[in-house]
Amino acid sequence: MDANGMVPFLNLKAQYEALKDEIGAAVTKTLASGEYVLGSEVSAFEEEFAEYVGARFAIGVNSGTSALHLALLAAGVGPGDEVITVSCTFVATVAAIDYTGARPVFVDVEPETLNMDVTQVEAALTERTKALLPVHLHGHPADLDPILDIARRNNLGVIEDAAQAHGAEYNGRRVGGIGDLGCFSFYPGKNLGACGEAGMVVTNTERYAHAIRKLRDWGQERKYHHVLKGFNYRMEGLQGAILRVKLRHLERWTQARRQHAVTYQNCLDGSAARTPVEAAYARHVYHVYAVRTPKRDALQETLRAAGVHTGIHYPIPVHLQKAYGDLGYGPGDLPVTENAAQELLSLPMFPELQTEQVEAVCRAVRQGLYDA
Ligand SMILES: Cc1ncc(COP(=O)(O)O)c(C=O)c1O
């Protein structure tokens, strides 16, 4: 409960309070250095994050969306190409494909993990298919081995959308560095969040890293020598400095999230709410802890009245969004995705949450579903 007896959905201020001195020192140092765009703090963060993920290269950018855009460009995706992805995601995944001029092609998701249903990918391949873009939704890794296998057999790139999955593992390896390119968001509410906007591309392929380094900075090889048509997608020095501080706490935070998930699981066991699964191959990092119920809207209302703040990720799948109507999809095309959009309810989940708060949320969920 907070001071008003409410359980917030997220509490960024609590994280800041706990790290105030460390963040303050990093900010002061960066302000004094004059390195406000890229610079030594960003370089150091890139090295530390690459090591954390287990990838050879990491390139800091100004958002997760920019990371996806540049990863797709580096993989050679452009007008006339198709990229197979999911609609059960945040809109940015699809927007980034659209930015390149390529066409997003959707497959449905698995009902349990809500990630790319690999059994549908082969039927979606055409001679225009250039890349596969799985999303590690909510922090649960997509089933990467069969995806990589299809990609290898068909000469396609694999770009991981790991925006929600810092530290998630697939068969013991951290996601992001498993495909050809991996993209992270450091939007403030993410498991590793900046105090503003930031993102990162990771890769083990040197030529991709070189291309992305240029593309994020106006396509420059040297100052004012533009060898590629690039972008202003650079990471700010302050964000690099703050993210370096926070990276040191990420594993502890992930463990706290996983502990809260255990508490939720135990307290909701036997209730009408379906709790999220963790596949045998996976280490879930619970960026979002979403339960499922056909009575989602009524439950959200009851929880709100009980002082429990919840979220819906996401109420309208991308293929049914007005902005992407030109792709030609309609209701019924992706039934698992559409059903998830109606049933998912995200419960409070952040490291600083107290066990008693999780237990109180579970009591309210049980009561809400009983009454509904
Ligand atoms: C799955 C997914 N992809 C991409 C993004 C885009 O990241 P950003 O908001 O940093 O641009 C986000 C987060 O916002 C996301 O959740």
List, for residues 91-149, the tens digit of each pLDDT value. Answer: 999 999 999 999 999 999 999 999 999 999 999 999 999 999 999 999 999 999 999 99
Residue located nearest, by CA, to atom 10 of ligand 1 = 64
The CB of 157 under 6 Å from ligand 1? The reply is: no
| HSE-CB for 228 with a 13 A CA cutoff | 18
For residue 6, the model assigns a pLDDT of: 87
| Count of other CB atoms within 10 angstroms of residue 145 | 12
CA distance 3 to 353: 14
Residue located nearest, by CA, to atom 12 of ligand 1 = 163
The CB of 191 under 6 Å from ligand 1? The reply is: no
The CB of 99 under 6 Å from ligand 1? The reply is: no
This prediction's pTM: 0.98
> Scanning the structure block, which residue is given the tokens 């925006």?
163
CA distance 113 to 130: 25
Instruction: For residues 20-26, give the mean pLDDT.
Output: 98
3-class SS of residue 359: helix
How far does the centroid of ligand 1 lie from the alpha carbon of residue 45, in Å?
19
- Say what percent of the chain tops pLDDT 70: 98
How far does the centroid of ligand 1 lie from the alpha carbon of residue 66, in Å?
9
Report whether 104 contacts 98 (CB < 8 A): yes
Q: Grade residue 2 by pLDDT with cuts at 50, 70 and 90.
A: low
Cis peptide before 314 (omega within 30 of 0): yes
Pairing mode, if any, of strands 181-185 and 173-174?
unpaired
Written as one string, the DSSP assignment of 184-199 is EE--TTSSS--SS--E
Ligand 1 atom closest to the Cα of residue 185 is 10
Contacts of 176 (CB under 8 A, 6+ apart): 53, 55, 160, 162, 165, 182, 183, 184, 202
Which amino acid makes up residue 1? M
Phi, psi dihedral angles at 59 (to 5 degrees): -125, 115
Q: Is residue 329 pLDDT above 80, yes or no?
A: yes
For residue 1, the model assigns a pLDDT of: 52
Q: Dump pLDDT digits (tens) for 4-21.
A: 568 999 999 999 999 999
For residue 129, the model assigns a pLDDT of: 98
